[in-house]
């Protein structure tokens, strides 16, 4: 099942071991966001681009928390970031203790999926797909216990394949 179009964003292809961090160290929302931003390969050596993205993420959080409950946060900018990245990017981070994130259920966030896309279509497709995937309690539990970045990528790919075949 390989339908490729702008809205057929495959999360498992966008997530790589290099964009996974299993032990986020930040003690608060903004420091965790900065850690996640630092993992984006396309802007790793561009401090101005990182600062622009971090500002956009913090502004988005001030509007309304991207903590969706169940210990999950989906930080993303309010608008597509044209010129910052030329393809969709996903960064996954896991915080050992969790941090207060203003989620609707009040739970601290432990699992973070930072979503960045150059177009609105890709941005919305990524948000919809990751939200749907994360309804799977088995996937959430697997993400909490994965030992390596490769395991995280495999878990997301497997869950996405199951979702596409159902």
**pLDDT, tens digit, for every residue of 139-160?**
999 999 999 999 999 999 999 9
pLDDT for the residue 135: 94
Decide if domain 11-165 falls under CATH 3.40.930.10.
yes
Domain borders along the chain are 11-165
d(CA 113, CA 148): 16
Residues 4-48 have pLDDT tens digits of: 444 477 899 999 999 999 999 999 999 999 999 999 998 999 999
Confirm if 78 and 41 have CB atoms less than 8 A apart. no
Residue 84 banded pLDDT, cuts 50, 70, 90: confident
pLDDT for the residue 165: 87
d(CA 51, CA 57): 10
């Amino acid at each position: 099942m390989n339908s490729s179009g702008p809205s057929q964003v495959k999360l498992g292809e966008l997530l790589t071991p290099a964009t996974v961090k299993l032990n986020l160290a930040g003690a608060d929302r903004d420091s965790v966001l900065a850690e996640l931003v630092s993992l984006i390969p396309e802007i790793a050596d561009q401090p101005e681009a990182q600062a622009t993205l971090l500002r956009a993420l913090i502004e988005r959080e001030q509007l309304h928390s991207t903590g969706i409950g169940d210990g999950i946060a989906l930080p993303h900018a309010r608008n597509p970031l044209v010129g910052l990245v030329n393809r969709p990017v996903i960064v996954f981070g896991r915080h050992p203790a969790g941090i207060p994130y203003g989620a609707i259920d009040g739970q601290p966030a432990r699992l973070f999926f930072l979503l960045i896309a150059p177009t609105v279509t890709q941005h919305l497709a990524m948000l919809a797909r990751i939200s749907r995937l994360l309804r799977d309690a088995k996937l959430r539990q697997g993400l909490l216990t994965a030992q390596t970045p490769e395991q995280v990528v495999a878990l997301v790919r497997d869950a996405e394949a199951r979702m596409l075949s159902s």
